[in-house]
Amino acid sequence: MLWLKAFHVIFMVTWFAGLFYLPRLYVYHASASDQPGRQRFKIMERKLFVMMTIGATFTTLFGVWMLVAVPGYLKMGWLHAKLTFVIALFAYHAWCYRLLVDFRNDANRHDERWYRLFNEVPSILLIAIVILVVVKPF
């Protein structure tokens, strides 16, 4: 069980490295005007997205494995709240993919400021999830 939790947390850190940095790349990409610079951003974004998707997959795999190993978790209120935030995180991840495709097609529709705000969302979800899972307030 502790091994599962350790790998769950390790992959969660990998996932969040991408969730924090990919929108930051979008901030710079949105204001890049030269063609070689844009091409470089596209490659970096694609590679980072692959890495964070691997992180998301294994975080989920080890998380679900813990739920199967200890069915009692499913009766706990904090876990339900946590999973609701995790679903929001999946939606954010999918949204990042949509934006990546827009950039790839040179069809970005947002400015730098919008990406700076967008970049704040994973921090809020991280704070909520970690407090729920560690403090277990209900």
List residues near ligand HEM by CB under 6 A: 5, 8-9, 12, 59-60, 63-64, 66-67, 73, 86, 89, 126, 129-130, 133-134
Least gap, CB of 30 to ligand HEM (angstroms): 26
- Nearer to ligand HEM by C-beta: 48 or 89? 89
Taking the complex as a whole, the smallest distance from the CB of residue 41 to ligand HEM amounts, in Å, to: 26
Answer for the pair 29, 108: CB distance below 8 angstroms, yes or no: yes
Map residue 89 onto helix, strand or coil.
helix
Please tell me the distance from the alpha carbon of residue 31 to that of residue 132, in angstroms, as a whole number.
37
Task: For residues 82 and 32, give the distance between their C-alpha atoms in angstroms, rounded to a whole number.
Answer: 37
The closest alpha carbon to 23, from 131, 97, 130, 133, belongs to: 97
Q: Which is nearer to ligand HEM, 18 or 63 (CB)?
A: 63
- Closer CB to ligand HEM, 54 or 86, in the complex: 86
| Nearest CB to ligand HEM, comparing residues 31 and 84 | 84
Residue identified by tokens 């990546």 is 100
Q: What is the DSSP string of 47-80?
A: HHHHHHHHHHHHHHHHHHHHHHH-GGGGG-HHHH
Phi, psi of 72 (to 5 degrees): -60, -25
Q: By C-beta, is 86 or 121 nearer to ligand HEM? A: 86
Nearest-approach distance from CB 54 to ligand HEM, in angstroms = 14
